[in-house]
Structure 1
Amino acid sequence: MSAAAPPSAGVRRPSLTRQLLLWSLGALVLVWGSFVFMGYQTGVHEADELTDGHLASVSALLLNLRANAVGEAPQVTPRVATPWLKSHDYQQSLSVVQWDAQGRLLHHSGSAPMPAFSAAEGFANMALGAEGVVWRSFSQWDAARERKVMVLLELRERDELAQDIAEQMIEPGLWLLPVVSLALGLALWRGLRPLYALSADVAALDPASTQRLASRHAWSEFESVVASINTLLDRQQAAMVRERRLANEVAHELRTPLSSIALQASALGGALDADARAQAIARIGQDALRAGHVLNQLLALARASRAELHEAKAPVDLCAVARQVCADFAQAAWQRGDDIALSAPQALWVSGHVLLLDIAARNLVENALKHTPEGTHIAVQVGASEGGGAWLQVCDDGARSRVDDPSAEGVGSPPDSLHLGHEILRRVADIHGGEFGPAPAVPPFTTCFRLDLPPAVVTPPG
């Protein structure tokens, strides 16, 4: 049996490594994207709180400072450039406005346009100036409600600060993603090396040899796979041995009658007297029947294999099968002077293939008729075993008949040297999970062959 042909080079098979890598990276990107989104939102939220807290802190600080003069114009305090500070050093853009209780301006510093006075306190977004620029503000009265302080920051700068903080939080993730992806790919490749080795060893196996998978694949995940492959190889080897032996035996069994037919046919072409010619023709007929019997056995083997593959087991009345077989062979037994007796209960249901069980019963009875002298007593027996299974056996006293009458017809007949009938019965037993072989013969019988079937839960039809 040759190894399976490799897949076509033009057909690209899906890769398990690529599949695992894609799924792992997809899950990683999904989780990473979720964390980036949450981190960005958290950064924006924390920056907003930081800015609002800063505005409130500056307002509380300024309430403790006294303004002695009423301010007439905004005062902008210049600040020395500090390039070493970050670009979002927003403190230099804070604007401060102070009023007294009557709403008179006490102090105004910063670049914010002058807001309108109101008694409201707390945070607010204000659109100031001709261009309507939005400012974030916090205003607060002192304890005596004599002065009110408002601190303002342009909303754009606050958003830029929030974005900067959020980007600083997600930036490590942007650099980490490709590094983790590369490390994940290397880890998957390294972790799947045993699978690559197993695949290579399986591809290198030769079904025709006795090679087996090595024990170096003793990973717990591979135990069942390696054991199954080795079991399949053992079964294939056993099947190949049986098929080779069967082929050799079939060739030998057919060679004898075919050679005899050819020899007798050649003799018919010569000068033979009437008796010799009649003997040659009779011998040709016998050899043709023998060859036909071998071919029938081979067909039965083929039907057994086909039934194993394509037919499901069903409830079968083994007693009904035995009764039908006995009825079919009754005429042939009567013509030989034999008698067939059936010993069986009314019904005995088993789970199996009715076709195969019929073939098995017919082979047992046919072998008893074919390889025993005339006048043989044949018994077909069916019964239930102690374990809940069933058995069918055929017994005969053919050996005793040969001893009592050595000249009886059938003694010199060629036996089925290949035991093709027994090979069929063994095949049927294997398909049903049972056993076949010789059984102890109870006198007056001298030979018994028995088919044992395992117990099974069977629900009879109807």
Structure 2
Amino acid sequence: MRLSLRGRLRWMIIAVLIAVLLPLGLYSYHRALKETRELLDGRLAQSARTLDVLIQNAGLDALRKPELGSLVVPIIGRKAEEQLLHTRTYEAEVGYQVFDMHNHMRLSTANLAQLPLQPTPVSGFESFFFEGYGWRVFTLVDDVNNVVIRVGERDDSRRDITHALWLDLGLPQLVGLPLLAVLVGWAVRRGLRPLERLRQALAARSPGNRQPIQLENAPQELQPVMDALNAQLERLEDALERERRFSADVAHELRTPLASTMIHLDSAMTASLPADAKIALTSAQSGLARLARRIEQLLALARLEAGAAAGQRGEVDLIAVAMNVIDELAPLLGESGVDFAFAEHDDSLKVQGYEAALAALLRNLIENAMHHVPTGGQVQLSLRRSQDATVIEVIDNGPGIPPERRASVFARFHRESSGGDGYGLGLSIVQRAAQLHNATIELLDAPSGRGLRVRVAIPRS
């Protein structure tokens, strides 16, 4: 089962808190327990020394006259203590003993009256099990006053203090951790609320919407995500727009040549004379050739608009590309009867760009000029390097384009006239290829005064 981001954050924070607080709690408990034991031992030692000073200064005769016997201090029981005093004083759980130099007990509390003294007492702490209880006893040997004092405390009294200490330290964590888990869950849920708002914004977004996604008071960490998401959505909308436009282009541009080819084929099938059938088949073949060329141009335009050549940017020899394009178009140039000239001013003309895009640019410039000049017309391709750009010029002596209509010829499927076999795609492909190279396109009058000069300047930078 996969946890949500909210669940993962909640459990990771709780695990970190447990990993930090639990060792700290155990360390604090053991440290406090050690300090408490040392404090209780110190209290026993201090009580013994205080009792020693009181005996020395008070000059108790009972300790020096064996014939007086030993004095036993009565101790009130715990139940009686609670009934009488309505509180617990631990009186029954502490006691003391005083011995003379002959190890005879002279003074004792009732709860320790029967605890024997070792034959050779030594100052220090000891542990005893006496009358069903464990005792922690401190022995003080006073050689100056010839007395031995022992002060003891029951272990169960210490355990009660330890349990109270454990509750004081452990109970807050036992109660606090579940409460902390609830608060952490609430904090994580509130902290991830911008993600929920982002999800709602994406779910409510309609197709074709190019407005960037914006969230009020968005966290700084979420802003780069939204920027990347907006950029990705913009690229996706561009791709979808290209797909829709390409589909419309194909449907628009292929309808007429397909219909024309079908008519010629139907004519060939119904023709009674072989000569008529041959004429119809020849027309159908020409229509299919035009259809193939039209499909090739549509695909070239689609590749350029999709930036398919973007991954192939590098140093390109423009003269070599031009020679390849001329070799490719040689059959069409020969059939058209156009006088074509290629003028290059350098042996090599290197530019930074996309070879496929530059080839499409040159091919469509030459084809566009070739289709708009009459038989016997002239088309010239010129490549040269200026001070700050590499210049491509294609000049023809056709009818040209009036200045007031030159801005509109770059639109897709725009035809300057109904004549010829142009498809209105050539200059659109040229424009897109130029945009990939940050190049400028100018439509100018031919130097001879008749025709068109197309000038493309690719910046050298």
TM normalised by structure 1 equals: 0.75
User: Aligned-pair distance for 1:428?
Assistant: 5.1
The verdict on how the C-alpha distance between 1:413 and 1:246 changes in structure 2, with shifts beyond 3 A counting, is same
Contact 1:205 1:211 in 2 (8 A): no
- 2:52 counterpart of 1:63: yes
User: Aligned-pair distance for 1:292?
Assistant: 0.8
The verdict on how the C-alpha distance between 1:88 and 1:292 changes in structure 2, with shifts beyond 3 A counting, is farther
User: Aligned-pair distance for 1:270?
Assistant: 5.5
Which piece of structure 1 moves more, 236-245 or 259-268?
236-245
The verdict on how the C-alpha distance between 1:239 and 1:312 changes in structure 2, with shifts beyond 3 A counting, is closer
Quote the Cα distance in structure 1 between the aligned partners of 2:176 and 2:129.
43
Quote the Cα distance in structure 2 between the aligned partners of 1:118 and 1:77.
28
Q: What's the Cα RMSD here?
A: 4.1
1:9 alignment counterpart: none
Contact 2:269 2:277 in 1 (8 A): no
Contact 2:381 2:393 in 1 (8 A): yes
2:196 alignment counterpart: 196
- 2:126 counterpart of 1:125: yes
Q: Which amino acid aligns with 1:55?
A: L
For structure 2, the 5+ residue unaligned runs are 403-416
2:27 alignment counterpart: 38
User: Aligned-pair distance for 1:346?
Assistant: 2.4
% same residue: 23
Contact 2:123 2:139 in 1 (8 A): yes
User: Aligned-pair distance for 1:454?
Assistant: 8.6
1:338 alignment counterpart: 340
SS in 1 for 2:54: coil
SS in 2 for 1:150: strand
SS in 1 for 2:62: coil
Contact 1:392 1:450 in 2 (8 A): yes
Quote the Cα distance in structure 2 between the aligned partners of 1:215 and 1:401.
50
**Number of matched residues?**
427
2:413 alignment counterpart: none
Q: Which aligned pairs between 1:200-211 and structure 2 lie closer than 5 A?
A: 200-207=200-207, 209-210=208-209
Quote the Cα distance in structure 2 between the aligned partners of 1:193 and 1:402.
60
Match of 1:446 among 432, 452, 461: 452
Match of 1:79 among 76, 81, 89: 76
Q: Which amino acid aligns with 1:173?
A: Q
Contact 2:304 2:357 in 1 (8 A): yes
Quote the Cα distance in structure 2 between the aligned partners of 1:279 and 1:159.
117
User: Aligned-pair distance for 1:399?
Assistant: 3.2
Which protein has greater RCO, CA pairs closer than 8 Å, 6+ apart? 1
2:407 alignment counterpart: none
Quote the Cα distance in structure 2 between the aligned partners of 1:384 and 1:82.
113
Contact 1:96 1:152 in 2 (8 A): yes
2:252 alignment counterpart: 252
Which piece of structure 1 moves more, 48-57 or 313-322?
313-322
Q: Which amino acid aligns with 1:415?
A: G
SS in 1 for 2:82: coil
For structure 1, the 5+ residue unaligned runs are 1-11, 404-409, 456-462
1:265 alignment counterpart: 265
Contact 2:81 2:89 in 1 (8 A): no
The verdict on how the C-alpha distance between 1:271 and 1:281 changes in structure 2, with shifts beyond 3 A counting, is closer
Which piece of structure 1 moves more, 369-378 or 167-176?
369-378
The verdict on how the C-alpha distance between 1:165 and 1:378 changes in structure 2, with shifts beyond 3 A counting, is same
SS in 1 for 2:456: strand
1:413 alignment counterpart: 420
User: Aligned-pair distance for 1:341?
Assistant: 3.0
Contact 1:127 1:134 in 2 (8 A): yes
Contact 2:98 2:107 in 1 (8 A): yes
Match of 2:13 among 20, 24, 43: 24
Which piece of structure 1 moves more, 83-92 or 111-120?
83-92
Q: Which amino acid aligns with 2:422?
A: P
Quote the Cα distance in structure 1 between the aligned partners of 2:346 and 2:445.
17
Q: Which amino acid aligns with 2:421?
A: P
User: Aligned-pair distance for 1:423?
Assistant: 4.7
SS in 2 for 1:196: helix
Q: Which aligned pairs between 1:28-427 and structure 2 lie closer than 5 A?
A: 28-66=17-55, 67-70=60-63, 75=72, 77-80=74-77, 81-83=80-82, 90-101=90-101, 103-109=103-109, 110-111=111-112, 113-118=115-120, 120-122=122-124, 124-127=125-128, 135-142=135-142, 144-207=144-207, 209-210=208-209, 212=211, 215-221=214-220, 222-269=222-269, 280-301=280-301, 308=308, 312-313=311-312, 315-319=314-318, 320-330=320-330, 332-334=332-334, 336=337, 337-343=339-345, 346-348=348-350, 350=352, 352=354, 354-374=355-375, 375-381=377-383, 383=385, 386=388, 393-399=392-398, 412-417=419-424, 419=425, 421-425=426-430
Quote the Cα distance in structure 1 between the aligned partners of 2:346 and 2:172.
85
CA deviation vs aligned residue, 1:160-199 (integer Å, no higher than 9, x gap): 4223312222212222222222122122222322321211
User: Aligned-pair distance for 1:129?
Assistant: 5.5
Contact 2:351 2:390 in 1 (8 A): no
SS in 2 for 1:415: coil
TM normalised by structure 2 equals: 0.75
User: Aligned-pair distance for 1:321?
Assistant: 3.0
Quote the Cα distance in structure 2 between the aligned partners of 1:433 and 1:265.
44
SS in 1 for 2:148: strand
| Greater C-alpha Rg | 2
Quote the Cα distance in structure 2 between the aligned partners of 1:232 and 1:429.
25
Contact 2:372 2:399 in 1 (8 A): no
Contact 1:95 1:151 in 2 (8 A): yes
SS in 2 for 1:57: helix
